[in-house]
Amino acid sequence: MASLICHGSPHAIVEGYQALGSWIEANGYTITGPNRKVSLRWSGELDDYLTEIQFPVEMVS
């Protein structure tokens, strides 16, 4: 599983998806299934939100 925690507005999650996708590819992995988005903190100001993005991965042979 590859994961990334995004801090900030829900609109900033797009950058998190791009960064995680780049990391997966650059490190020799491939995505093996659907992603999951976990809301860790969704109260208060938009800039204080915490969201974890997860992708199941496996090493490319």
Q: Can you give the residue ranges of every domain in the chain?
A: 2-59
**Which of the two residues, 33 and 8, has the higher pLDDT score?**
33
In a 3-state reduction of DSSP, which class is residue 3?
strand
pLDDT of residue 12: 81
Residue 38's pLDDT is what? 95
Residue 47: per-residue pLDDT: 81
**pLDDT of amino acid 45:** 81
- Single out the residue of 18, 4, 19 nearest to residue 51, CA to CA: 4
* pLDDT per residue as tens digits for the range 10-48: 788 999 999 999 999 999 999 999 999 999 988 778 788
Instruction: Report long-range pairs for 33-38 (Cβ below 8 Å, ≥24 apart).
Output: 37/13
Query: What Cα–Cα distance (Å) separates residue 39 from each residue in 5, 23, 43, 57, 59?
Result: 10, 21, 10, 21, 27
pLDDT at 40: 93
